[in-house]
Amino acid sequence: MKMKHLKVSLIFLIFLASQTVHSWKKDEFRNCNQTPFCKRARSRKPGACTLIAHDVSISDGDLTAKLIPRAPHDQDQIKPLTLSLSAYQDGIMRLKIDEDPSLDPSKKRFQVPDVVIPEFETKKLWLQSASTEKINGDDGSLSSVVYLSDGYEAVLRHDPFEVYVRDKAGKRRVISLNSHGLFDFEQLRVKKGDEDWEERFRGHTDTRPYGPQSISFDVSFYGSDFVYGIPEHATSFALKPTRGPGVEESEPYRLFNLDVFEYVHDSPFGIYGSIPFMVSHGKSGKSSGFFWLNAAEMQIDVLANGWDAEDGILMPTKQGRIDTFWMSEAGIVDTFFFVGLGPKDVVKQYMSVTGLPAMPQLFATAYHQCRWNYRDEEDVENVDSKFDEHDIPYDVLWLDIDHTDGRRYFTWDKLLFPHPDEMQRKLAAKGRHMVTIVDPHIKRDNSFHLHKDATRRGYYVKDATGKDYDGWCWPGSSSYPDMLNPEIRSWWGEKFSYENYIGSTPSLYIWNDMNEPSVFNGPEVTMPRDALHLGGVEHRELHNAYGYYFHMATADGLVKRGDGEDRPFVLSRAFFAGSQRHGAVWTGDNSADWDHLRVSVPMILTLGLTGMSFSGADVGGYFGNPEPELLVRWYQLGAYYPFFRGHAHQDTRRREPWLFGERNRELMRDAIRVRYTLLPYFYTLFREANVSGVPVLRPLWMEFPFDEAAFSNDEAFMLGNSLLVQGVYSERAKHAFVYLPAKESWYDLRTGTAYTGGEIHKLEVSEESIPAFQRAGTIVPRKDRFRRSSTQMVLDPYTLVIALNNSQAAEGELYIDDGKSFDFMHGAYIHRRFVFSNGQLTSLNMASSSLGRSRFSSDCIVERIILLGYTPGPKSALVEPGNRKAEIELGPLRLGGRGGAAVTIRKPGVRVAEDWTIKIL
């Protein structure tokens, strides 16, 4: 009997072990202790930096200096570093520190090209002079001060070396670097005798021919209570401290683009993309930002209050401060300090460096249907027709890797997809689009033209010995084009032309997956760090930007394909600073569980804050089978993601919205329809992002910077400035606690019920919807007619929903263009501002009066105006011009569904393109 028991428990253990085989493999990825540069840096003590600024002067409009060791005898070992500090318009300081090229270092350290946009250089301010001063409390040490903007100045303290930005008036610091003396710069040098530079990890050897070359330093944010940003991690929006008192053993936030199988929902480990940009925010309502342009592996510690207490370094403690510690394996110091003031200003400043988000086509902002894999043309046709059968709108059908001939991208499986162009034309006839996957791994197959071509031209990334790097990915043995090289990017882009991509049509767009790059047999499932790119650049130096260049090449290829007249759509999994210029990203292979639903919000908030406005998570969860309730909740939340796509792994059950019974089908259809009614609002927000960088989906504190209760809230988010949405993140939830910020009213989107701001509301939730509110004082444009796809909605009339504030006023905007071409860049768009006050709604033109060479017009009318917070009574309104009367009645807030009623102006019939007023009589 005992024996049997033992056996059973042993078997149980085996069973458990075999279960865990599928989950995240922590030990396949290096932690900080297994990463020598990180371990070394983390063990440094505050004040360890002995560098001082020397030869400080103004040259070529920059403040320049040499960093040399304080003690003269160290100067033999440590060569001086060059420092240059520049000022740019709008309160941006750039600090560069590198090895002195005139001292002939053994290798030029890598500077990430093609990320900073060319326009940025035009914003440079030519510094004329620096003043020198002794700053109180600095032990009489000298500092050089230069102009940064009207309100701010940049300070370089000489000994010890420190750089910071302060406001002119109060001399308060905003951001500083090396205030704790943690700065370290490992200079390239000659190998000493028997020194072993190789690094080994799980059977992989990194030859590290150039030896240690890491950089680390501390950055402090003043007047701040929280820091945010530095995606991509599946964790909270406000970054939790990773070191210091009260922090359990934690890894730093890692920035290293990796294809992590079944990533966990709360971890500082790096996943698919990296943006080394951090934003701070505090009670004062002010934000500031810091960006390190460096594409090597980076590790960032957020230090808990009091982390340096023992070391007795005195820092100004009056204001709240957050210290952070940045470490990178290679590259140079090329950093940007953004002074703010407001959160939106910081984002704008960041994007004046890395570029504004691309304006998507209208269809791309609608619903996408994806699965690994829609198997053949018949399958595609069936899925497509089922959407119609159930009157569920969708815009894009996606094909994953198995549509290709043996995973050779740009080809089609001849048995499963014999008529790809006809298939696309059928979809296009319904106004729908298709997306196919094109990954960077190219099958090493001599009969594959792409491989032959790339090999012949020598366009592949090389291994450490100089041969074409051969890794393993979906097609088996594969090689990877060297996307660092603009010539190769251009060659790649050509592959998307209709002549080269046989079977592609104008309604076909592209999905870039696996571009971290993912290499199944590589160290940490990626490319070896000693692989070689153009000009002897090691992969370690640009790893985090590989996917960015690939994304860029693909997007540029699509622009070229459309003769520069068709906006590209490319979804990428890997990303880097600047990826917002090239298209959308998503949060990769998530799982069908409630935790992943929950973490999708902080992840997308973080992406938006760091420029990636067009982002989303796989609705339903990629791995595993969601219960219908979870799937419904995910659709309800996903409908508000900037990028809205259902996707699933091949092992999962089919989960198209009609497969879970009538009720669930209705709920999912309703959720998708919410998205479609809000498309005019979304599109307007995408344009706002395209112009100002302010993300579509925003943290509450971006709209309410003084509302402390909102600072760490990452279960709710703002969609533009008008809507607040909170997901339902648990099973069978009866209630949700929703914090509504500020002292304004909020109107429930479904019922129209008003809630007061500045408090947490316990709300009943039904299966029908998740909590969503319109902020008082805003106007949201909608289209309340449902079509097969967004394409057929173009001519449909608008509904305006006006949520009145206490003074019975509201404002909102509407942006419209052709939804497809680049003509909007030349003035072909409609941009209206709607203002409601004194019982009168006015439509004003916002488009610049000096319109460019093209124009856009629309015959669309407004069919309905809904007034929330308006006391019923008036029976009609006067429409001018035309001196027409429109009836006022009590109408439904939402057509066809259950919900509240509101004062409605019936058929005002005004054209959206024109100026008009509607006065309530």
Partner 1 sequence: MKLTLSFTFLSLAIFSFIIPSHVSSSSLPSVSFVGIPPQDEDYFKDEVIKCKNGSKKFTKTQLNDDFCDCPDGTDEPGTSACPQGKFYCRNAGHSSSLLFSSRVNDGICDCCDGSDEYDGKVKCPNTCWEAGKAAREKLKKKIEMYHEGVALRKQEIEQAKQAIARDKAELLGLKNEKEVLEKVVKQLEEQIQKLKQRELLEKEDKIKEASNEKIENEKSGPEENVDGQIEPLKISDVEKMGLSGESPSDQSEKDENESTEGLSREELGRLIASRWTGKKTGDQVEEIDPAKSDHMGNRDKEESAYESSYDEHIDNNALQFNEKTQKHQEKGRKDARDAEDEESVAEDREKSSGSSSSEVVGKRIICMVLLISYINCFLFDFLISSDIATLSHQSWLVKIQETAQNFLQSVNLFSAPVANLDANQVRKEYDNYTAKLSDIELRISSLTEKFKYDFGREKEFYLFYDRCFESKQDKYVYKVCPFKDAIQEEGSSETRLGNWEKFGNSYRMMMFSNGDGCWNGPDRSLKVKLRCGLQTELTGVDEPSRCEYVALMYAPALCLEEKLKELKQKLESMNREQSWSHDEL
The residues carrying an active-site annotation are 513, 516, 589
Q: Residue 827 interacts with partner 1 (CB under 8 A)?
A: no
- How is residue 873 written in tokens? 């009574």
- Cα-Cα-Cα-Cα torsion 759, 681, 793, 670, nearest 10 degrees, comes to -20
Q: Residue 795 interacts with partner 1 (CB under 8 A)?
A: yes
Q: Residue 863 interacts with partner 1 (CB under 8 A)?
A: yes
Q: Residue 476 interacts with partner 1 (CB under 8 A)?
A: yes
Q: CB of 275: closest distance to partner 1 in angstroms?
A: 25
Q: Residue 3 interacts with partner 1 (CB under 8 A)?
A: yes
The structure tokens 């969503």 sit at 772
Q: Residue 797 interacts with partner 1 (CB under 8 A)?
A: yes
Q: Which candidate, 277, 238, 234, places its Cα nearest to that of 610?
A: 277
Q: CB of 594: closest distance to partner 1 in angstroms?
A: 20
Which burial class, exposed, middle or buried, applies to 244 when counting CB atoms under 10 A from its CB (0-12, 13-18, 19+)?
Answer: middle
Q: Residue 30 interacts with partner 1 (CB under 8 A)?
A: no
Count helices and strands in the chain by DSSP H and E runs: 15, 53
Q: Residue 342 interacts with partner 1 (CB under 8 A)?
A: no
Q: CB of 520: closest distance to partner 1 in angstroms?
A: 4
Question: Is the CB of 49 or the CB of 910 nearer to partner 1?
Answer: 910
Q: Residue 465 interacts with partner 1 (CB under 8 A)?
A: no
Size of the site for partner 1 (CB under 8 A): 78
- DSSP code per residue over 692-742: H---SEE-HHHH-TT-GGGTT--SEEEETTTEEEE---STT--EEEEEE-T
Q: CB of 782: closest distance to partner 1 in angstroms?
A: 13
From 112-120, 281-289, 402-410, 541-549, give the range in contact with partner 1 by CB under 8 A.
402-410
The structure tokens 């298709």 sit at 434
Distance between CA atoms of 231 and 237, rounded to whole angstroms? 10
Q: Footprint of partner 1 on residues 138-157 (CB under 8 A)?
A: none
Q: Residue 520 interacts with partner 1 (CB under 8 A)?
A: yes
Q: CB of 896: closest distance to partner 1 in angstroms?
A: 4
Among 16, 48, 502, 851, contact with partner 1 (rule: CB under 8 A): 16
From 173-181, 474-482, 731-739, 841-849, give the range in contact with partner 1 by CB under 8 A.
474-482
- Positive or negative, the CA dihedral 779, 783, 789, 791 is negative
Site string for partner 1, 368-397 (x = CB under 8 A): -------x---x-----------x-x----
Q: CB of 7: closest distance to partner 1 in angstroms?
A: 6
Q: Footprint of partner 1 on residues 542-601 (CB under 8 A)?
A: 589
Question: Is the CB of 624 or the CB of 812 nearer to partner 1?
Answer: 624
Question: Is the CB of 597 or the CB of 912 nearer to partner 1?
Answer: 912
- Positive or negative, the CA dihedral 740, 741, 747, 748 is negative
Among 765, 895, 914, 917, contact with partner 1 (rule: CB under 8 A): 895
b/e code 483-517 from CB counts within 10 Å (16+ = b): bbbeebbebbbebbeeeebebbbebbbbbbbbbbb
Q: Residue 1 interacts with partner 1 (CB under 8 A)?
A: no
Distance between CA atoms of 251 and 254, rounded to whole angstroms? 8
Q: Which candidate, 208, 183, 197, places its Cα nearest to that of 540?
A: 208
Distance between CA atoms of 700 and 744, rounded to whole angstroms? 14
- For 440, 487, 491, 919, the CA distances from 456, given in Å and listed in that order, are 17, 15, 13, 71
Q: Residue 630 interacts with partner 1 (CB under 8 A)?
A: no
Among 136, 137, 429, 465, contact with partner 1 (rule: CB under 8 A): 429
Q: Residue 857 interacts with partner 1 (CB under 8 A)?
A: no
User: Nearest 5°: CA angle at 94, between 88 and 98?
Assistant: 145
The structure tokens 């570093």 sit at 81
Among 22, 467, 663, 875, contact with partner 1 (rule: CB under 8 A): 22
Q: Footprint of partner 1 on residues 524-543 (CB under 8 A)?
A: 525
Q: Footprint of partner 1 on residues 57-76 (CB under 8 A)?
A: none
Backbone angles phi, psi at 920, to 5 degrees: -75, 130
β-partners of residue 840 are 837, 919
- Positive or negative, the CA dihedral 124, 125, 128, 130 is negative
Among 15, 317, 456, 762, contact with partner 1 (rule: CB under 8 A): 15
From 165-173, 289-297, 520-528, 684-692, give the range in contact with partner 1 by CB under 8 A.
520-528
Question: Is the CB of 71 or the CB of 795 nearer to partner 1?
Answer: 795
Q: Residue 43 interacts with partner 1 (CB under 8 A)?
A: no
Among 36, 47, 151, 909, contact with partner 1 (rule: CB under 8 A): 909
From 16-24, 147-155, 294-302, 812-820, give the range in contact with partner 1 by CB under 8 A.
16-24
Q: CB of 752: closest distance to partner 1 in angstroms?
A: 15
CB atoms within 10 A of CB 197: 14
Q: Residue 2 interacts with partner 1 (CB under 8 A)?
A: no
From 123-131, 246-254, 280-288, 519-527, give the range in contact with partner 1 by CB under 8 A.
519-527
Backbone angles phi, psi at 787, to 5 degrees: -130, 180
Among 153, 167, 334, 413, contact with partner 1 (rule: CB under 8 A): 413
Asked if 530 and 523 touch (Cβ cutoff 8 Å), the reply is no
Q: Residue 472 interacts with partner 1 (CB under 8 A)?
A: yes
Q: Residue 469 interacts with partner 1 (CB under 8 A)?
A: no
Q: Footprint of partner 1 on residues 188-227 (CB under 8 A)?
A: 202-203
Question: Is the CB of 833 or the CB of 906 nearer to partner 1?
Answer: 906
Q: Residue 892 interacts with partner 1 (CB under 8 A)?
A: yes
Backbone angles phi, psi at 162, to 5 degrees: -155, 145
Q: Residue 876 interacts with partner 1 (CB under 8 A)?
A: no
Q: Footprint of partner 1 on residues 252-281 (CB under 8 A)?
A: 261-262
Distance between CA atoms of 598 and 677, rounded to whole angstroms? 24
Q: Footprint of partner 1 on residues 635-654 (CB under 8 A)?
A: 649-654
Q: Residue 661 interacts with partner 1 (CB under 8 A)?
A: no
Q: Footprint of partner 1 on residues 169-188 (CB under 8 A)?
A: none
Question: Is the CB of 428 or the CB of 844 nearer to partner 1?
Answer: 428
Q: Residue 468 interacts with partner 1 (CB under 8 A)?
A: no
Give me the count of residues in the chain. Answer: 921
Distance between CA atoms of 683 and 814, rounded to whole angstroms? 8
Asked if 394 and 852 touch (Cβ cutoff 8 Å), the reply is no
Site string for partner 1, 280-319 (x = CB under 8 A): ----------------------------------------
> 667: which DSSP letter?
H
Q: Which residues have a Cβ under 8 Å from the Cβ of 433 and sit 6 or more positions away?
A: 363, 395, 396, 397, 427, 507, 508, 509, 569
Q: CB of 427: closest distance to partner 1 in angstroms?
A: 12
Among 44, 166, 529, 673, contact with partner 1 (rule: CB under 8 A): 673
Q: What H or E segment, with its residue span, contains residue 748?
A: strand 745-748
From 342-350, 711-719, 779-787, 850-858, give the range in contact with partner 1 by CB under 8 A.
779-787
Among 788, 812, 830, 893, contact with partner 1 (rule: CB under 8 A): 788
Angle between helices 546-561 and 486-494 (to 10 degrees): 50
Distance between CA atoms of 217 and 81, rounded to whole angstroms? 15
Among 477, 837, 838, 857, contact with partner 1 (rule: CB under 8 A): 477
Q: Residue 467 interacts with partner 1 (CB under 8 A)?
A: no
Distance between CA atoms of 355 and 613, rounded to whole angstroms? 12
Strands of the sheet with 442-443, listed across from one edge: 442-443, 476-479, 471-473
